[in-house]
Amino acid sequence: MPWLDVLGNDIHYTDSGRGRPVVLLHGHASGAACWEPIISELQQGFRVLAYDTYDHGWSSNSPRRGPLVDRVAELDAFITALGLEQPVIVGQSMGGMTALRWAVRHPDGAAALVVCGMGWPLVVPPPGQAGQPEKFEVFSSLDDDERIWLGVGNSFTEQWVADNPRDYARYIRIRSTATAIEAARHPRSLEESQGEFLSADPADVEWFQQGLESVASPLLVLIGDQERPRIRRGAEHVAATVPGARFLVVEDAGHNAYFQRQDILVEAIRNIAGAA
């Protein structure tokens, strides 16, 4: 079970397979273990790495009152520590925030990028569109009774949950680690760890828009057809802004389309990585 000291946090990660590196970034209140069925497919042709960002999975917790490590700095340090060159970076939800923020800082640093269940902007209308700023709220996934299980709200479709009760139960259990429960009971600021991505400051918005326009790595944006409207709007904007980006909508899937249709995601990663 490998571990790394990443900017003062004790970070757990997995590393399997050989070939071009693929780095998988999980979502809020999730963990590297949620990628396991996808890793088992990808490791046949790639070196696949997934880490638990701090406050998640088996990694350590941040101080309750901060400061928090910027999650782009964490990804940078992880890549550097393992000597990864031109990785394929795949991010789900919060991990998609990190992937996009990393990409605007390293416009051609990835062999390819895959962003699932995330878009930008989330707190203001896309540049050029009318509307007022809105605060982006991260719902608490901690159950109200035992306060030990981290649920997923409506991130899966009801039909998928009904058809896959065992996979759904496993998904809840593997998310619900001591580290993640502690962070859910004492929530940290997502804005502090994701910086300009969740800022309504016009200067930040302009900077990020220009950054997206400069991204040269191949990009695929993947969402479910039942994605939350604000995220879908942002995903469409990212795909329309990054030169050459592709936009893929998965039918009968929600926010966790990446897990509901693992076959589509695996094929998409293989295709975009193979073309890089």
pLDDT tens digits, one per residue of 108-164: 999 999 999 999 999 999 998 888 888 887 777 787 776 888 989 899 999 999 999
157 in Cβ contact with 254 (< 8 Å):
yes
Which domains are assigned to the chain?
Answer: 3-138+187-275 (3.40.50.1820)
What is the C-alpha separation between 175 and 184, in angstroms, rounded? 11
Q: What is the mean pLDDT of residues 76-95?
A: 98
- Tell me the backbone φ, ψ of residue 123, rounded to 5 degrees: -110, -10
Strand runs (DSSP E) across the chain, as ranges? 3-6, 9-16, 21-25, 47-51, 88-92, 112-116, 219-224, 246-250
**CA pair distance 39, 115, nearest whole angstrom:** 16
Closest CA relative to residue 198, chosen from 28, 66, 79, 56: 28
- Please report which helix (H) or strand (E) contains residue 101, including its range: helix 94-105
Residue 265 predicted with pLDDT over 90: yes
Ranking 132-146, 204-218, 231-245, 252-266 by mean pLDDT, the lowest is 132-146
Residue 78: strand, helix, or coil: helix
CB 119 within 8 A of CB 198: no
The pTM assigned to this predicted structure is: 0.96
